[in-house]
Amino acid sequence: MIQVKRIYIKNFKRFREVEIKPEAKPGLFIFIGKSYLGKSNFLNAICWCLYEETPFKQSIEEDSSPNDDILNVDVAKEKEFAEVIVEIHVSDNNNEYKFVRSIIKTQDSKFNVYRLSGSDWKLVPNPEIIREMLLPKSLRKYFIFAGENLERLYSAGFEKELREGVQKVSDIVVLDRAIDHLYSVLIEARRDAGRDNPEIDSMINIKEKLDLEIIEAKKKQEKIKDEVNDLKKIRIEYKEEQKKYEKYKNLFERRDWIDRETTKIESMEDKIRNRINYLLTEKTPFVYLRKALEELHSHISHEEKTGKLPPDIEADFIKELIKNGICICGRKISKSDKSTDILNKLLLEYEPASHRVSLLEDKYIISSIIRDQSELKKELLNLIGERGGIVAEKNDLDREKKEIQEKLKNSNFTQVSNIEKALEDLENKIEDHSLRIGYLEEQINRNKNQSNELDDKIKKAEVMTKKNEKAIKIRNFLEDLYKSLVYVRERITDRVRRALSFNTEKYFRELFWDQEEFEKIEFTEDYGLNVKERGIDRPKTEFSMGEGKVLGLATMRAIAEISGFSEVPIFFDAPLSNLGAEIKDNFLKIMPDLAPNKQIFIFSLDDNEMLEFIKTSIPKNRVYKLKKDPKNKHSTIIEKYYA
């Protein structure tokens, strides 16, 4: 369990010199103060020390370096080249570490890690390795974050970051590296198994090429999906900008309604298309069978009508005459008699026809099958008709949307016109990217099928030779191991996603005051958020500030449940800002149990709700107050609240 034992900040931003020594036990630690006293800069100091980043508001300009202008203003007036230092002392089970970063203006920063040995601090080589082992940079946003980041967690384009974060905390990334390494070993094993057999070697080369193309196509597909999410994020920003122009409000709203309706129609069209494809691919053999049966049925009916299907009695009567040696006229005949030959010829002529009499019974079975297959034709026609109606409705909506876009694009307001043109370009790019994703999916499936076919051919070819039996056994073992790892990866990925969905919904319901408003909260395979409101068919896509923040809090807690870093301290800046009274009250009630195995450092305004909560629920030695330094105009001091 990682616990913070000391944080020391000197000359960083608002802090001329502060030191806190929190109790090294799980639980809440509250920092309160007025606005602009450095609550966000305290988190920036931690991030700067560990990662040389200052990601939170009121820190640096967006395009500047994290080391620019971090020197405290009061100190800078006295000494322009004063040293900035931040130290973080943590314990990890039986070890204690001290992370130290320092910088002097115009110089590069220095980062060191020390391990406590007896009573001395020993410098550790490769400090980044220790930091990544305890507090990895890739996971920073899941244990150090600002309150306003929570409400924006589910803005457009969040899927990529959430997916990557969850995969890292659940060790799926480690499994991916193992799979990649095993694949490279497997390639060599395949070559060894196919050595001295040109045919096998050639097939292995083709298979490897196909497999690599699949991997590359998946990477491209993932990259394009992320680009689509980024484009959607920009689209939302443009639409937010449009809302400023009241004159065009009705047109904006109508277009947004058309977009929602088009999404619903496309979903219905996909379902119909999938059903038609299913019927055509799965039932096509029956369509051809029906056609063949109809022809056979027609032929039997024709034979019956023309009298070409004689009754069984004619063949039986001739057989009896031959057996008894009697001619049709009644006289006795021998086997060598010409009349016997005539009877045998008649039998050959009638007997096949008499065998076909059984087809008369088959005719009724065939008729029944044909009647059943007519339902397939009827369903296909109905589906095609239904799809035609949907496509027509979609075309009408598209036509109306284009008319609206033309009005907005040709508007006299340059700003509106420019946004419309930009939106049109975005829509075209999104559509183009979607087509590319579909094309890559087809390529992946096609290559998979060819790779599997080659795999079967390779194994069959290997059976034909006794050479390289040991290499073949190794190859087969590695093949099975590789498939097992991929299967395990898929199972773990699915299980993690379902666990994240379950816990996010669970914690959201604990936090949100109107629980019955929401029916289901879950994540799709691509980590898209699917929130279903009770009584509404389509998923909810826009959230109030309070809903967004509570969803973020619930997700962060859910991630902690599945992460290997569940005992890393959490630093929260302004988690309660912009929350309604009821949601804030609920959050304060469950805050002590938010993460029972962690230290949780919360930085908040000293409003009435928080002060009352501190008075009734937080031990006195766990509350700190930020206040202006009476001796320095631009500095903040931190002291015990109950000092």
Nearest-CA neighbor of 173 among 181, 272, 34? 181
Per-residue pLDDT at 569 exceeds 60:
yes
Helix axes 198-242, 249-305, angle to 10 degrees: 140
Residues 6+ apart with CB under 8 A from 126: none
Look up residue 630 and give its two tokens. Answer: 């009476």
Q: Say what the pLDDT of residue 313 is.
A: 46
Per-residue pLDDT at 194 exceeds 80:
no
Per-residue pLDDT at 390 exceeds 70:
yes
Residues 6+ apart with CB under 8 A from 192: 468, 471, 474, 475
> pLDDT-based confidence at 63, cuts 50/70/90?
very low
Count the alpha carbons within 13 Å of 497 in the hemisphere toward its beta carbon: 19
Per-residue pLDDT at 156 exceeds 90:
no
pTM of the full structure = 0.55
3-state secondary structure at position 330: coil
3-state secondary structure at position 2: strand
Residues 6+ apart with CB under 8 A from 564: 169, 170, 171
Q: Say what the pLDDT of residue 361 is.
A: 46
Could you count the other beta carbons within 10 Å of the beta carbon of residue 497?
20
CA distance 17 to 8: 8
Nearest-CA neighbor of 622 among 34, 90, 33, 23? 23
Most confident by average pLDDT, 171-180, 234-243, 354-363, 509-518:
171-180
CB 7 within 8 A of CB 46: yes
User: What kind and span of H or E run contains 132?
Assistant: helix 127-134
Strands 570-573 and 599-605: parallel
CB 100 within 8 A of CB 112: yes
Nearest-CA neighbor of 10 among 91, 106, 74, 90? 74
Nearest-CA neighbor of 203 among 456, 468, 465, 458? 458
Q: Say what the pLDDT of residue 376 is.
A: 67
| 539-548 mean pLDDT | 74
